[in-house]
Structure 1
């Protein structure tokens, strides 16, 4: 219902005051923009892989090999690539040929193990290793509207519409709430 909110204004160059029916809300402009930017990075970023000179054996247990082989596309979107030899012995079927790198972030076998664990619970569902999430959170923070930035009505409206687009707009990736309920005007005394 963010698109239906009436914009009251900006407070202290860091917060937006809105009204929905008789309820007043305060929205953290930085946390809100950060959450949207983070979700867009999560959805749309395909990490580039750095090819290894020599393929690396992973010696994964049979169940882990199977999970990995059934979710190759998710691993590729995360920047990992593998050579698969289905005729090889179990625990020798998968070799790592490419690792994701991004500026000063590098990833490795522990990130593969984490992805396998996540995909064991939710096969086929796009997920990211926690270190990739940390990298995206850091990038989202740096590119978001900062506290101290004056916003005009159209910029505020854009932030509200972005909140409408994402599934869980309630907290930034670092856990800070994006908004709080201030008051219900019907409950405020008229005295």
Structure 2
């Protein structure tokens, strides 16, 4: 049995992650981040993610300044998200990283935009949900952890005839 809400939510979550671009809210005065040397280097190697001003001649912990805060509609991200992102980038270089605040934003938007539980669906809408499940990488649970499918039979008891 497929949960129509969690299935649609997972698909919407994956699509939002792939297609949503964060905008930058320019700061009047660039903000010092006071990062350790290792963190500064990680950021300097991944400048395309946020808008930073780099002063190569400044002292360590003073070289990186935040020029704009990433935003998306009514969600704003700040230095705490940058610290989490730096940790994720240093832990998994070359992997697309999403800080928990960004993931939470996508999960919230996906949930609100998905088919609600109990909504009657046409055959074509049901087929669309099942096809979408086959198009995403991890269709097993929604971003909040609820399963998208429930097995009504124990597969160990079904014969192989």
- Structure 1 residues 186 and 122, CA gap change in structure 2 (3 angstroms): closer
User: Would you tell me which structure has more helix in proportion to its own residues?
Assistant: 2
Q: Please say if 1:41 is aligned against 2:27.
A: no
**Residue equivalent to 2:88:** 118
Q: Which string of whole-angstrom CA distances, capped at 9 and with x for unpartnered residues, describes residues 25-77 of structure 1?
A: x1100000000101111122111010000001111000000111111223xxx
Q: Higher strand fraction: Structure 1 or Structure 2?
A: 1
TM-score, length of structure 2 as denominator length: 0.91
Cα distance, 1:86 vs structure 2? 2.3
Quote the offset at 1:89 in angstroms: 2.3
Alignment-derived partner of residue 17 in structure 1 = none
Map 1:6-85; keep pairs closer than 5 Å: 26-74=1-49, 80-85=50-55
Deviations 1:146-167 (A, max 9, x none): 1121112221111111111111
Q: Which runs of 5+ in 1 are unaligned?
A: 1-25, 75-79
Aligned to 1:134: 104
Q: Distance in 1 between matches of 2:156 and 2:101?
A: 46
CA deviations over 1:158-190 (Å, ceiling 9, x no partner): 11111111111111011110001212689469x
Aligned counterpart, 2:59: 89
User: Where do 5+ consecutive residues of structure 2 fail to align?
Assistant: none
1:186–1:177 distance in 2 versus 1, CA, 3 Å: closer
Quote how far apart the aligned CAs of 1:117 are: 0.6
Look at both structures and tell me which one has the larger radius of gyration over its CA atoms. Answer: 1
Q: Give secondary structure in 2 for the equivalent of 1:147.
A: coil
More moved, 155-164 vs 85-94: 85-94
1:182 pairs with 2:155: no
Separation in structure 1 between the aligned mates of residue 82 and residue 46 of structure 2, nearest angstrom: 12
Give the Å deviation of 1:125.
1.2
